[in-house]
Structure 1
Amino acid sequence: MTHQTSNDNNPKCHLFRLPPEIRNEIYHLVFTPQESICLSPILHCGTHHGAPKRFKVPALLRTSRQIRHEAAGLFYSKTTFICHSSASTFAQCLKIIDKEHLKFFRKIEYRTYENVWSARLWLQVVADLLGERGGCLGTGL
């Protein structure tokens, strides 16, 4: 049996030995092209072929603060987030995402068969939430 020193318990990540340019290239390979991800807590997300996957923070972003800092912007900016739920439910879903990462969102799709007033309410709730958390909402066609 060998005894480990405290340095052996926290080995330095080999990824950080690479230059930042190489790490960025790795992040690009991991996160692009990114599939659509469902932010709605409904049962049919990800249950049929071609359906968007349910959202989970990617494992790579959970490995260390430094990796999260370096790669989160790329992940959130390249991913299309899809919502099938009400505005208040979607707002709850957004709260699981780190406040500083909301600014990287580029594309959120709201899929509904509801009337235009429901969609308008949804946009207002999301805009308010993003405003509270330091983000903003723009529209695009």
Structure 2
Amino acid sequence: MVDTVGFVLAVLVTPASIQDRVAARALLLRLRATVGDRIRLVWADGGYTGTLLDWARTTLGMVVEIVKRPDLPHFTVLPRRWVVERSLAWIVGHRRCVRGYERLPYHHEALVRRAMIRVTSHLLIQTLQIGKGH
């Protein structure tokens, strides 16, 4: 789960046998535990339809809005979807996050957090250097 800039808010690693819409409940609960009730709107792709939308609204007070694909015959950048894709690219830019090398899910979650700490630190340093005129 990333914010509108692309920084990770919550991480949940699951086996491939778990469907996204099933794991989304645990991820939303983890998000709530991490940031509290400050987040009221979550954008998601079409894989998260179904009972998740009502569950999030009634249980957590969050609105999960599905970003629908336009019915166009060619590639179209979906609103907000590119932010998630860029975040995933940042994460897999770190060697240990490219494949599922870890035996335990929380080990991989820790590596994802570590990768985002490095990305965020790098972006902060770049921003500070630009501000100084370097």
TM-score (ref. length: structure 2): 0.28
Higher helix proportion, which one? 2
| Higher radius of gyration, 1 or 2 | 1
